[in-house]
Amino acid sequence: MRAMLLDEPGTPLRLAEVATPEPAAGEILIKVEACGVCRTDLHVRDGDLTGAARPAVLGHEIVGTVARAGPEASRFTRGTRVGVPWLARTCDRCGFCRSGRENLCAEARFTGYQVWGGFAEYCVADERYAVEIAPNTDAASAAPLLCAGLIGYRALRKAGKAHRLGLYGFGAAAHIVAQLARHEGRRLFAFTRPGDVSGQEFARSLGAEWAGDSTIAPPELLDAAIIFAPVGPLVPAALTAVAPGGTVVCAGIHMTDIPAFPYALLWGERVVCSVANLTRRDGEEFFALLAHVRVRTSVRRFALEDAEEALRQLREGELQGAAVLVP
């Protein structure tokens, strides 16, 4: 099969011919139809996140069809369309796993990081962590739901019942969360890179009543803010923007250092929390919700061999919505 390999962090991905992987016990072989390009892929590629497989195949927003099942794998039949998210497997034994918090398992392994992902024509996955995708769904449109959607959904739930909701960084995850938030009747405030007029217009088109630079205050205090941009200084900025009792949710796996800030910003029972990975239950809840809520993803398609260009456009903030590789 063809795959885009990352030999060393900080180096460009290269197109290579490699052996098609064989599904082990409990695994399925998936013919990849589409794979979203996530900011976490960028962090792995650039070396912000260490510990990746060498070589690595990035990609954890995978949509494809089951080509073959390995021994003891019986959950899906051949030809079933499935999605593969970031969480690849956990130990199923620790206190976190037994209490429904498998996203915190110390032995967890992640797709496109320690386990080869979807920047390839085929991939294998533990069938227990895959989700079934409706066969009539456009694969490229569905791909961002597997991380941008799932992580966004978990972050939205961490924000509680906030009526006035701010989103910092209006990219792949935010453009999905915005639609969920508007469906729930929340008021939406969007923050973009300074000067990103097109991004602000995009946010307004998805229901934001206000959109502006992340360096300025919103017109009124917020009940909660979700930070999708991996920029540490946005944490004190968001704390300034939320009312007493408000919550700031940090939704990225990687973030630059958070600068020191006065206690007065946190006082008033404001809360700062993070979102770490996701659980299988998140997937069940999120895709059940999508059966009742119409969410449209904005995607830009790239050929498999153009993965580096997709990552560059993501790095430079040139995308509206999500980039998706289509082998």
Model confidence pLDDT, tens digit, residues 222-256:
999 999 999 999 999 999 999 999 999 999 899 99
**Co-location of 261 and 283 in the same domain:** no
Nearest 5°: phi and psi at 17?
Answer: -95, 120
Alpha carbons 41 and 48: distance in angstroms, whole number: 10
**Co-location of 12 and 49 in the same domain:** yes
The domain that holds 110 is classified in CATH as 3.90.180.10
Instruction: Quote the pLDDT of residue 192.
Output: 96
Tokens of 94: 């620790």
Instruction: Quote the pLDDT of residue 46.
Output: 95
Cα four-point dihedral sign 238, 239, 241, 247: positive
Return the half-sphere exposure (C-beta side, CA atoms, 13 A cut-off) of residue 283: 24
Alpha carbons 24 and 62: distance in angstroms, whole number: 19
Instruction: Quote the pLDDT of residue 326.
Output: 97
**Co-location of 172 and 209 in the same domain:** yes
Alpha carbons 309 and 286: distance in angstroms, whole number: 30
**Co-location of 126 and 270 in the same domain:** no
Instruction: Quote the pLDDT of residue 95.
Output: 98
Contact 294, 5 (CB under 8 A): no
Angstrom CA distances, 27 to 67, 80, 99, 129, stand at 11, 14, 24, 10
**Co-location of 22 and 100 in the same domain:** yes
**Co-location of 205 and 287 in the same domain:** no
Using N-to-C axis directions, what is the helix angle for 307-315 and 39-46, rounded to 10°? 100
Residue 74 belongs to what domain range?
A: 2-146+278-326
Encode 65-78: b = buried (16+ Cβ within 10 Å), e = exposed: bbbbbbeebeebee
**Co-location of 108 and 177 in the same domain:** no
**Co-location of 244 and 199 in the same domain:** yes
Model confidence pLDDT, tens digit, residues 89-137:
999 999 999 999 999 999 999 999 999 999 999 999 999 999 999 998 9
Alpha carbons 18 and 7: distance in angstroms, whole number: 13
Of 274, 293, 309, the residue that ends a domain is 274
CA 229 to chain centre: 12
**Co-location of 12 and 122 in the same domain:** yes
**Co-location of 166 and 269 in the same domain:** yes
Instruction: Quote the pLDDT of residue 324.
Output: 98
The domain that holds 222 is classified in CATH as 3.40.50.720
pLDDT in tens, the chain (327 residues): 999 999 999 999 999 999 999 999 999 999 999 999 999 999 999 999 999 999 999 999 999 999 999 999 999 999 999 999 999 999 999 999 999 999 999 999 999 999 999 999 999 999 999 999 999 899 999 999 999 999 999 999 999 999 999 999 999 999 999 999 999 999 999 999 999 999 999 999 999 999 999 999 999 999 999 999 999 999 999 999 999 999 999 998 999 999 999 999 999 999 999 999 999 999 999 999 998 998 999 999 999 999 999 999 999 999 999 999 999
Helix, strand and coil percent figures for the chain, each rounded to 5: 30, 30, 45
Return the half-sphere exposure (C-beta side, CA atoms, 13 A cut-off) of residue 265: 14
Instruction: Quote the pLDDT of residue 87.
Output: 97
Count of domains for the chain: 2
Residue (of 287, 140, 146, 148) closest to 228 by Cα position: 148
**Co-location of 99 and 169 in the same domain:** no
Tokens of 13: 């991905």
Return the half-sphere exposure (C-beta side, CA atoms, 13 A cut-off) of residue 133: 29
Instruction: Quote the pLDDT of residue 188.
Output: 98
Alpha carbons 6 and 8: distance in angstroms, whole number: 6
Contact 226, 177 (CB under 8 A): yes
**Amino acid identity for residue 139 in this structure:** A
Tokens of 114: 């320690």
Task: Please tell me the pTM assigned to this model.
Answer: 0.94
Nearest 5°: phi and psi at 116?
Answer: -55, 140
**Co-location of 122 and 193 in the same domain:** no
Instruction: Quote the pLDDT of residue 281.
Output: 96
Only one residue has tokens 């961490």, namely 158
